[in-house]
Amino acid sequence: MRVMVASLYTLEKSIERIEGILTTQDRYKITYEVNDLVEDEVRDALLQDLERMGNIIESLKEKLSLKPRKESMTRNVRVEAINIWEALSEMGCNDLDRYGNTPKELSDVWDAKVKALIEISLRIETKLRNREGKSI
């Protein structure tokens, strides 16, 4: 039974990721752009198919009397903020110089921006640290 729960969870998470891709085609794309946007009609049909998949997963959950897994939004966001901090902590010019020298005029700007990003990621994690385990 445990493998069934894990399989359904994995399917649901994949469906969520696909839905996210289809519904946020033009959001937060700063360092890349999506070059093959699907037409609205196709996107809507795909979203309907994903909804059908979700309904099947729901019916299996009910049929097998499976209890939903508890997930902490706070913990998930904290983990992502820590992952961001970890990646950023290795993005300073001194760290990147292993791959080639960074021009001095760029390194000052780069390091300042990386430092600002680190501070924000730590602020996000700190804001949520004391919330973990609390429910609203």
Give the chain's mean pLDDT: 90
* Domain count for the chain: 2
Share of the chain above pLDDT 90, in %: 62
The answer, yes or no, to whether residue 135 has pLDDT greater than 80, is: no
68 in a structural domain: no
- Tell me the per-residue pLDDT of 71-119, one tens digit each, with 9 for 90 and over: 999 999 999 999 999 999 999 998 988 898 888 889 999 999 999 999 9
What percent of the chain has pLDDT above 70? 93
Q: Do the domain assignments include residue 135?
A: no
Q: What does the pLDDT average to over 40-54?
A: 97
CA distance 120 to 118: 5
Domain housing 110 = 73-129
Q: What is the pTM of this model?
A: 0.74
Asked whether residue 136 carries a pLDDT value surpassing 60, the answer given is no
Q: Is 124 inside a domain boundary?
A: yes
Do 35 and 57 lie in one domain? The reply is yes
Residue 136: inside a domain, yes or no? no
- Give yes or no for a contact between 75 and 33, defined as CB atoms under 8 angstroms apart: no
Query: Does residue 49 belong to any structural domain of this protein?
Result: yes
